[in-house]
Amino acid sequence: MSRQPDYRIDGGVALVTGAAGGIGAAIAERLVREGSNVALVDRDAAGLEDLAGRLRVRRPDREVTAIVADLAEPQTPADVVSQALAQHGRLTLVINNAGVALAGRFEQVSIADVDWLLAINLRGVLAVTAAALPSLGSGAQITNISSLFGIVAPVGNSVYSASKFGVRGFSMALRTELAPRGIGVTTVYPGGIKTAIARHARRGVGVSEAEWEVGLRAYDRFLVIEPSVAARKIIDGTSRRRARVLIGPETYAGDLLARLAPTGHSSVFEYVARKRAGL
């Protein structure tokens, strides 16, 4: 199979979910800087409008739209894509970045919490992709954000890992399915990116205050890579239509560990992570 030409950012139209902050905002900033039009999606209306305003000033020759929406609602993904198409007329790139976290071991969280996380982290990715696919032509690109925890599954992240392993499997199969249509699919595995995802995580009903504080301290030491660094790697991998984009030394280490110890890597990763966090 011949390699697809690179995805052309300049002049394209990108739909970016989870765009109001963190990695999503950094991705949007880089896309607009390189000449893309963008439809930005997030439930944070104030953050989204602030970002959209900055991007319009930076590139007044590009169209920037803000769509306030909560992807946890079943009909939202289809509505978001419809709005983006109505405002831009077409889509050439979909970046499924929206994601949330849930603190606690599986026995410490409720099924309602599980449903909430899966609705955003996994169903949202599938549903946005399904809604966008009919409008994507040859040369289009889909980039899905998985996680280091879509490669390794550490203790206390069972539900989050389930969602990110799901994104990984979906993206791998989709890449093969869409290749004959000339549509690329890239899966991204970020490691310790400096975002607020841990502090904004939903706390499982069985998680004590002490456990919560210890977890936050650990993640403060783990999340050190600037979102702009991640965005640069994501956009580079997207434009080159790479199958996988790994970000951060811990992700490369986790990828190797999962290959060397496919059934025992969780305990090893947990030990190393706790040592690194000083616990």
pTM of the model as a whole: 0.92
Residues tagged active-site: 160
pLDDT of residue 278: 55
227-248 pLDDT tens trace: 999 999 999 999 999 999 999 9
Q: Calculate the average pLDDT of the chain.
A: 93
Give the pLDDT confidence score for residue 196 in this predicted structure: 77
Mean of pLDDT values over 10-20: 98
Cα–Cα distance, 84 to 90 (Å, whole number): 8
Strand order in 64-68's β-sheet? 64-68, 37-42, 13-17, 93-96, 141-145, 184-190, 244-247
Q: What is the pLDDT of residue 274?
A: 59
Q: How does pLDDT run across 124-136, given as a tens digit for each residue?
A: 999 999 999 999 9
For residues 195 and 45, the model is more confident at 45
Using pLDDT thresholds of 50, 70 and 90, give the confidence band for residue 270. Answer: low
CA distances from 94 to 20, 28, 40, 68, 200 (A): 16, 12, 11, 17, 25
Q: What is the pLDDT of residue 161?
A: 97
* Lowest-confidence segment of 25-29, 168-172, 208-212 by average pLDDT: 208-212
Instruction: List domains and CATH numbers for the chain.
Output: 13-276 (3.40.50.720)
Q: Beta strand pairing status for 184-190 and 244-247?
A: parallel
